Structure 1
């Protein structure tokens, strides 16, 4: 089983787990399984813009064989305007910076444009020879501030170490109290929360559930966590019943490039 498949399915499962709970406050619920409805009133197994844009990025790499910024942007436009790369033929969740950048035709670089919208789609680059500059440029299609670009670079470096079976992060994050872990949309908070979930669990299922149960931006935190957990634990560690529930698996398979 390819590590890319493990990573992308791990990512999509985390996304789908979090969709029903997005924006809910921590400790007001307890996610233990993949359910439907909730915040976006979607069927169980429905993934959001996080996975859609990840697949749009991966499909470009598959089709072109290299990092083609124009082709990636073209796929993003097809997603936003034509409902391509979606779980059920419908776009139902779009970040403000992402929408603005696609509509304007260039990335946004204000401090308040440091949501997690490029971090949540950058994972396919870990499986390429993309340079740090390439990673920054792919982030900058929508999120062009240095904070967002550097967060994407850090995440890809971590993912690559995991792909190669190496230790990936300073364990000090593990000992941060949960009350200090923020799980909103700020890119650095999402990265830290995801690493915290990885470090405080020892299997795929617990990692993504911990991420969902942090509250707020549940789908993205769990997706970013799930991508790394998929690499660490492998495809077979993902609960089979969750994979069975996952929507549009055929599209996910179609976008994989290894």
Structure 2
């Protein structure tokens, strides 16, 4: 049976694979293994804000047993300001997220549709969160309907995958069936929420293992850590944490931090 652990470790490993290549153009590099340094100068196996914020969400639900946006906001601030839910403290944060954590209100403009809420949303698939609660969690930082609805679709797809549905069926159910047949050149991998969502599903549909899925995601370039984090959490659900290459799991830093936040 698929568990939250499968999803979160799938996310963390994908995130860590992508961190060294963030912002690099597609086909200007080839990722084949877990490496370090690169864009942020971090050691191999270091995950970023994507996983830290997902862990803050997990820890809130673990402690409270319910979805509480105010408590999640407080934990996001603890991550940013105190280094909670991280290995070495903050080294990457989105502009929209940073502004929202200062103001306590998520951005709701057309330009506030980055992937900063999508990247952390899959753990909600393992709760009884309603669609409105998923939207409320997105709205902590990203309150526009496009971002909120993408998070709802992501949770719905993750629940389907956890129940045994194929990647193709889950993509079709959330209106992303076109992804399965799209050529690689049509898949965008920047920071726009719908691009990240489509890219993650494309990687899942077009590959047949966890390893293939996350490497495909990183090698799309640009927002490599987030694309691979979202693809990785879905692939973790489909294939299980046991399918993650042992060398990557061994290299992953902060495994104890992750384990403490799971519910």
Give TM-score, length-normalised by structure 2: 0.96
* Distance in 2, Cα, partners of 1:115 & 1:92: 18
* Distance in 2, Cα, partners of 1:163 & 1:2: 6
Residue matched to 2:218: 212
Structure 1 residue 174 corresponds to structure 2 residue 176:
no
- Cα shift at 1:2: 5.2
- Cα shift at 1:176: 0.5
Residue matched to 1:195: 201
Residue matched to 1:240: 246
> Unpaired runs of 5+ in structure 1?
none
1:151-170 alignment to 2 at 5 Å? 151-167=150-166, 168-170=170-172
Residue matched to 1:54: 54
Residue matched to 1:127: 126
* Distance in 1, Cα, partners of 2:212 & 2:164: 20
Residue matched to 1:17: 17
* Distance in 1, Cα, partners of 2:178 & 2:111: 28
Residue matched to 2:8: 8
Residue matched to 2:64: 64
Residue matched to 2:191: 185
Q: Which moved more, 1:78-87 or 1:140-149?
A: 78-87
Q: Secondary structure at the match of 1:169?
A: helix
1:64-103 alignment to 2 at 5 Å? 64-88=64-88, 90-103=89-102
* Distance in 2, Cα, partners of 1:238 & 1:113: 33
Q: Which moved more, 1:186-195 or 1:165-174?
A: 165-174
**In the alignment, is the contact (CA less than 8 A) between 2:24 and 2:222 conserved in 1?**
yes
Structure 1 residue 148 corresponds to structure 2 residue 150:
no
Residue matched to 1:105: 104
- Cα shift at 1:46: 0.3
- Cα shift at 1:172: 3.2
- Cα shift at 1:186: 0.1
* Distance in 2, Cα, partners of 1:166 & 1:196: 16
- Cα shift at 1:105: 1.1
Q: Which moved more, 1:109-118 or 1:160-169?
A: 160-169
* Distance in 1, Cα, partners of 2:104 & 2:8: 27
1:206-253 deviation per Cα after TM superposition (whole angstroms, max 9, x unaligned): 000000000000000000000000000011110011011101100100
Alignment length (residue pairs): 256
Compared CA separation, residues 149 and 12, structure 1 to 2 (3 A)? same
* Distance in 1, Cα, partners of 2:13 & 2:212: 13
* Distance in 1, Cα, partners of 2:87 & 2:110: 31
- Cα shift at 1:70: 1.1
Compared CA separation, residues 2 and 201, structure 1 to 2 (3 A)? closer
* Distance in 1, Cα, partners of 2:70 & 2:103: 14
